[in-house]
Structure 1
Amino acid sequence: MYINKVPKTEPASYIGGKPVIPQGMSIPKSPSGSLMSFYFTLQFPEAHSLHGYTLSVFAATDDFNEDYTIPEMLKVPLLGASVPDGFLRNYQKYFALFLFKNEEKVYLTDYPIRIAMTPLAFSHSKGHDVFGWAGDKPKWVLNYETPGQYKGAAFDFLLQVYGEQSFPITGSAPAQRETNIFGGSKPRAKRNYILFNQNEVYFFGSRAGDVDDRVYIVTQCN
C-alpha cells in the first residue's frame, strides 16, 4: 500500500497538526528539555499487519547534535538481528516514537502546532504526492536490513517514508536547528522541517514492550 498525501478532511492519519499520543504519556522532550515537534501519525488500516494500532512520530527541532541526525544503529549486521532489551527506548534521544492501540489515542489541543497539517491516506494506487510505502515488505534502496526480533517478539514492517521529504511549517513555528559548516548549529533558512537528513526511513514495530519501547528505525540513502 502507498501512503499518499490527499485533500481529505478529518483523517486518522496525517502530517503535522494536533499531536496524537497514548493515554498517560506527554509530549516528549529533547535532552535540553525543549518540547519535540510532532511530525506525523498513522492509524494502520485493516489490510496492515498492525491493524488496530497507531504510530506517532516526534523529533527535536529546537536542538541539534550532529552525532544524532539519524537514529543510532546496532553494532552488528542488521538483517535478522535481535535487538537488545531496552535499546528501543534508550536510542530515542532526539526523536520519540509511540506505537499504541487505537483505543488509547489522545489528541492534544493545547500543543503549539509547528508543522502544517496534511492528510494521509493508504491506497493500493500510487498518488501524485506520495509520502511513503506500507506494503508487506520494505522497498530497500541498499542492502536488506530487516531486523529479527525484540524481547522475543518478531518485528512487523510498519512503513517506510520516502527520501527527500520536507514538512512545511506554520508561520509562527521556530526555524529548525541544523548543522553550521563553521561549527555548531544555525537556524534553517527554509520554512520547513526535515527528518533524519531526508533519508529513506524504515519503521519496524514489535508488539512486545511498552508504547514508547516498540519501534526500530533503519535509514538508508543512495
Structure 2
Amino acid sequence: MDVCYALDIEENDTESSCPSFVGGKPNLPLEQAVPECQLCSSQLTFFFQISFPYNHKWEDLSMAVFACTSCVHKEYLIPEMLEGVLEGINIPKGFLTVYQRNFRILVFRTGEAVTKDTYQEKIKYKPIKLRVTNDLDIYTDKLGGNPNWLLDNEAPAMYDGNPMFFLMQILEDYKFEILSDASPQIKLDLNGEPAPSQENYYELFLGNNLYFFGTEDKTNSMVYLISQI
C-alpha cells in the first residue's frame, strides 16, 4: 500500500469507541469464542486489535492478537520459523494454522464484531490512533509502508499460492501494562524454569520486533508473524 499509518498508542486516553486498541476486552464476531492455548488449555490473553482503514487491502476487516501468559515453553518463546532462505519464501499450506500453538491471530469483518463482555481484562485498555504519514520507511509502530528489519529481510512471497504483503510492525520492547488484579506472566527464570514475572506488564514474544504479513486474498485472510531481535 502507498499510504503508511503510524500507530500512536494513547497511553493516557480512555476513549472507548476507538476501533483499534491495546488491552481491555476484545471485539470479536458473536460466534467466535476467546481462543485457548494448545499447550496448556488456558484462555489466551488479548493483547491488541487493529481495524484496517478505508482503501487498505484488508478494508472492512479487523485483526485481533492473543497469546498465552499462563505457560512458557523454551521451543515456543517466539513464533515457529520456517527453514531455508526466508526472503521470498513460499509458506507451505497449513503452516499458518499449525504454528499458532500458544497464540492466535483472528481476522474477521469489523462490522460483525461485538465486545466480549465475559472476557476478564488483563491488559490496560489504550486506544491506538492511526496517523497518516508519507514516510514509508518511518521507524515506528506502523501499519503499511516498508518493514524496518533489524536483521535480514524475511518477507515471504506466497502462502499456498496466495501472494502476501506487509501488514504492520511493532517495535521491540513494548510493555503491555497490566491491571492490578491480573495474573503475572509466566516466564523462564535464570535457571530456565517457568516462574511468575514480578513486572507490572506483559511482553509479546519476549518484546522482540514483530512483523505481520497477510494474504492478499481477503476472503481467506491469514497472517504470518515474524520475530526479530
Question: Is 1:17 the counterpart of 2:21 in the alignment?
Answer: no
Task: Mark the CA change 1:16 to 1:196 in structure 2 (over 3 Å): closer, same or farther.
Answer: same
CA positional deviation for 1:66 = 1.5
Opposite residue 24 of structure 1, the aligned amino acid is E
Aligned to 2:9: 5
Opposite residue 152 of structure 2, the aligned amino acid is N
Q: CA RMSD in A?
A: 2.0
CA positional deviation for 1:131 = 6.8
Q: Which runs of 4+ in 1 moved over 4 A?
A: 207-211
Task: Mark the CA change 1:189 to 1:118 in structure 2 (over 3 Å): closer, same or farther.
Answer: same
Out of 58-67 and 2-11, give the one that drifted further: 2-11
For 2:175, which of 160, 166, 172 is the aligned residue?
166
Contact 1:166 1:194 in 2 (8 A): yes
**Within-5 A mapping of 1:96-107:** 96-107=104-115
Q: Work out the CA distance in 2 between the residues paired with 1:105 and 1:117.
A: 17
Contact 2:57 2:218 in 1 (8 A): no
Contact 2:22 2:123 in 1 (8 A): yes
Contact 1:45 1:51 in 2 (8 A): yes
Task: Mark the CA change 1:22 to 1:152 in structure 2 (over 3 Å): closer, same or farther.
Answer: farther
CA positional deviation for 1:8 = 5.9
SS in 2 for 1:155: strand
Question: Is 1:62 the counterpart of 2:66 in the alignment?
Answer: no
**Within-5 A mapping of 1:176-191:** 176-191=185-200
Q: Work out the CA distance in 2 between the residues paired with 1:108 and 1:23.
A: 8
Opposite residue 87 of structure 1, the aligned amino acid is F
Which blocks of at least 5 consecutive residues in structure 1 are unaligned?
none
CA positional deviation for 1:24 = 2.7
Aligned to 2:36: 29
Contact 1:5 1:131 in 2 (8 A): no
Q: Work out the CA distance in 1 between the residues paired with 2:219 and 2:98.
A: 13
What is the total number of aligned residue pairs between the two structures? 217
Task: Mark the CA change 1:209 to 1:50 in structure 2 (over 3 Å): closer, same or farther.
Answer: closer
Q: Work out the CA distance in 1 between the residues paired with 2:59 and 2:217.
A: 16
CA positional deviation for 1:99 = 1.4
TM-score (norm. length: structure 2): 0.88
CA positional deviation for 1:210 = 7.9
Question: Is 1:71 the counterpart of 2:75 in the alignment?
Answer: no
CA positional deviation for 1:207 = 4.8
CA positional deviation for 1:35 = 0.6
